[in-house]
């Protein structure tokens, strides 16, 4: 990129320099030409105005000898006198443009290039009172020969300018690229790079994206480490139980006990794997939601019914309240959300506790509330329980079949449905979670 910018700058500079040189030469030549014709005109007019033409011709002939050629023609274009050639040898001049113009209008001018192209002759003709024509002319170098003679100096100047532009382009490219190079070096530490105001939003976006990428990579790494650890524990148990049975050290009762252990741990593995797969599916934001118009109340009531047995086992009573509330959502995801919230409300409850599930429509919103009279969540953990594998009390979570992924799944589902989450919890008193959806038409 640096090389490209550099090369382009140099190219633009060289083109600019060459074009300026050529154009300037042409402009100067035009000025020079005009000056030449003006001078000739003054000579011609001076000569015409002279009292005694013969005398004047003589005098000017002396003064301008060799420089200005003076030709005197009669009214028909025949050469009467020429200070640089023999007039008798010269042909009739009536067809020359400057002579023709002078015959018609009184004055005429022309520039003619000589055969070798390196010289131009400037002519100026004026008509005298008696109809005769006085023509003055001067020879000068043509544009080509001026260019030719100026070429060595032009080439030198060009070379110096190109060299200067090379240096300048190099310096400019470097200073242009500096903030970008600096940005690449300081992507991590968020150093302020304030070279160009216009680059600021771009730099900030890149830095933000980079931080997000790093954060994501860190989270993924942590997640992988956690997954490995979580899977290892039940597998170690299974392996241990199986080994005991294998060695024949276990008696009949033990075999039943160990088999139960194997079964429970295998179940736990399955639950874990299911949750992990579910999370990675939800992570893939490309996956389309199968949205349909759903009555959230109906879904919640079904969930409450399904969890009846579990509630009984935990000696918790379950209550369903509210009325129909329609939302646009993915049925499977909403069922998962309800299941996870209600399951937690039961599992983290106390004996004889209560779980209230409520769905109600409030204007253009449908609010789901899951309230329990359980153990509650201390303030410092409240933000973190939605992280993967984060558990306030690991042993209680495990003993009730928790994976630490339920609320992470809930958070994802809420985000995918553009719903809002609110939580209030008091240790020892209980927890309430509200999820607010936009009501379907
Ligand atoms: P788990 O499978 O461990 O229940 P979750 O992601 O569902 O995982 O919840 C994370 C943690 O949040 C739980 O381990 C528990 O400590 C806490 N938690 C979740 N819901 C409740 C609740 N209703 N009452 C008290 N603590 C809860």
Please report the atom of ligand 1 found closest to the CA of residue 408: 6
- Fold designation for 292-438: Heat Shock Protein 90 (3.30.565)
374 lines ligand 1 (CB under 6 A): yes
Q: Which residue has the higher pLDDT, 253 or 200?
A: 253
Cα 259 to Cα 245: distance, rounded to the nearest angstrom? 9
Ligand 1 centroid to Cα of residue 396, in Å, is 9
According to CATH, the superfamily of the domain at 2-146 is: PAS domain (3.30.450.20)
Q: Whose CA is nearest to atom 4 of ligand 1?
A: 402
Q: What is the average pLDDT value for the chain, to the nearest integer? A: 87
Ligand 1 centroid to Cα of residue 344, in Å, is 6
Please report the atom of ligand 1 found closest to the CA of residue 397: 3
Q: Whose CA is nearest to atom 3 of ligand 1?
A: 404
385 lines ligand 1 (CB under 6 A): yes
Tell me the range of 58-67, 123-132, 188-197, 321-330 where mean pLDDT is highest: 321-330
Could you give phi then psi for residue 247, rounded to 5 degrees?
-70, -10
Ligand 1 centroid to Cα of residue 391, in Å, is 6
Asked whether residue 285 carries a pLDDT value surpassing 80, the answer given is no
409 lines ligand 1 (CB under 6 A): no
Please report the atom of ligand 1 found closest to the CA of residue 405: 6
Q: Whose CA is nearest to atom 7 of ligand 1?
A: 406
What are the tokens at 97? 């443009």
Residue span(s) of the chain under CATH 3.30.565.10 come to: 292-438
Q: Angle at the Cα of 44 (from 41 to 48), degrees rounded to 5?
A: 135
DSSP label at residue 328: E
Asked whether residue 174 carries a pLDDT value surpassing 80, the answer given is yes
Name the percent of the chain lying above pLDDT 90: 47
403 lines ligand 1 (CB under 6 A): yes
Cα 176 to Cα 181: distance, rounded to the nearest angstrom? 10
Asked whether residue 186 carries a pLDDT value surpassing 90, the answer given is no
Ligand 1 centroid to Cα of residue 389, in Å, is 10
338 lines ligand 1 (CB under 6 A): no
193 lines ligand 1 (CB under 6 A): no
Tell me the range of 11-15, 68-72, 132-136, 373-377 where mean pLDDT is highest: 373-377
Return the minimum-mean-pLDDT range out of 89-93, 232-236, 281-285: 281-285
pLDDT of residue 405: 94
Could you give phi then psi for residue 121, rounded to 5 degrees?
-115, 130
Residues 6+ apart with CB under 8 A from 266: 234, 238
Residues 6+ apart with CB under 8 A from 276: 227, 405
349 lines ligand 1 (CB under 6 A): no
Q: Which residue has the higher pLDDT, 85 or 325?
A: 325
Q: Which whole number is the average pLDDT over 230-243? A: 94
| Three-state secondary structure call for residue 195 | coil
Residue span(s) of the chain under CATH 1.10.287.130 come to: 202-284
Name the percent of the chain lying above pLDDT 70: 93
Asked whether residue 273 carries a pLDDT value surpassing 50, the answer given is yes
Ligand 1 centroid to Cα of residue 392, in Å, is 7
pLDDT of residue 193: 61
Class at the top of the CATH hierarchy for domain 202-284: mainly alpha
What burial class does residue 425 get, using C-beta atoms within 10 Å of its C-beta: 0-12 exposed, 13-18 middle, 19+ buried? buried
> What is the reported pTM?
0.63
| From 226, 342, 348, mutation site for ligand 1 pocket: most ligand atoms within 8 A of C-beta | 348
346-377 residue pLDDT tens? 999 999 999 999 999 999 999 999 999 999 99
Asked whether residue 65 carries a pLDDT value surpassing 60, the answer given is no
pLDDT of residue 202: 79
Residue span(s) of the chain under CATH 3.30.450.20 come to: 2-146
407 lines ligand 1 (CB under 6 A): yes
Residues 6+ apart with CB under 8 A from 224: none
Q: Which residue has the higher pLDDT, 178 or 64?
A: 178
Residues 6+ apart with CB under 8 A from 122: 33, 36, 37, 40, 109, 110, 111, 137, 138, 139, 140
């Amino acid at each position: 990129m640096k090389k490209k910018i550099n090369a382009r700058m140099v190219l633009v500079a060289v083109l600019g320099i060459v074009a300026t040189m050529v154009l300037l030469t042409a402009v100067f030549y035009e000025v020079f030409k005009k000056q030449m014709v003006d001078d000739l005109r003054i000579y011609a007019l001076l000569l015409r105005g002279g009292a005694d033409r013969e005398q004047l011709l003589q005098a000017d002939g002396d003064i301008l000898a060799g420089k200005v050629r003076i030709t005197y023609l009669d009214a028909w274009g025949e050469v009467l006198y020429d200070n640089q050639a023999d007039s008798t040898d010269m042909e009739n001049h009536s067809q020359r443009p400057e002579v023709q113009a002078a015959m018609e209008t009184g004055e005429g001018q022309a520039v003619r290039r000589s055969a070798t192209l390196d010289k131009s002759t400037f002519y100026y003709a004026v008509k005298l009172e008696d109809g005769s024509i006085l023509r003055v002319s001067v020879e000068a170098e043509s544009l080509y020969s001026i260019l030719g003679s100026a070429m060595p100096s032009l080439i030198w100047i060009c070379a110096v300018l190109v060299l200067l532009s090379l240096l300048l382009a190099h310096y400019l490219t470097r200073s242009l690229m500096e903030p970008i190079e600096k940005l690449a070096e300081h992507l991590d530490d968020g150093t302020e790079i304030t070279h160009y105001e216009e680059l600021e939003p771009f730099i900030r976006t890149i830095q933000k994206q980079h931080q997000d990428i790093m954060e994501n990579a860190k989270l993924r790494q942590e997640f992988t480490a956690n997954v490995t650890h979580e899977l290892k524990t039940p597998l170690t148990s299974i392996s241990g139980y199986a080994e005991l049975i294998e060695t024949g050290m276990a008696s009949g009762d033990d075999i039943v006990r160990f088999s139960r252990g194997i079964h429970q741990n295998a179940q736990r593995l399955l639950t874990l794997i299911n949750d992990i797969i579910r999370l990675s599916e939800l992570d893939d934001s490309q996956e389309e939601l199968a949205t349909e118009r759903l009555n959230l109340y109906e879904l919640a009531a079904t969930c409450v019914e399904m969890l009846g047995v579990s509630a009984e086992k935990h000696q918790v009573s379950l209550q369903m309240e509210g009325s129909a509330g329609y939302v646009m959502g993915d049925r499977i995801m909403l069922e998962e959300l309800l299941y996870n919230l209600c399951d937690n409300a039961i599992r983290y409850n106390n004996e004889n506790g209560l779980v209230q599930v409520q769905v109600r429509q409030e204007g253009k919103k449908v609010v789901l509330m899951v309230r329990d009279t359980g153990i509650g969540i201390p303030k410092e953990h409240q933000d973190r329980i939605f992280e993967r594998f984060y558990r306030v009390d690991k042993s209680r979570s495990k003993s009730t079949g928790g994976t630490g992924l339920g609320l992470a799944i809930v958070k994802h589902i809420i985000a995918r449905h553009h719903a809002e989450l609110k939580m209030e919890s008091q240790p020892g008193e209980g927890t309430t979670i509200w999820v607010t959806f936009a009501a379907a038409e």
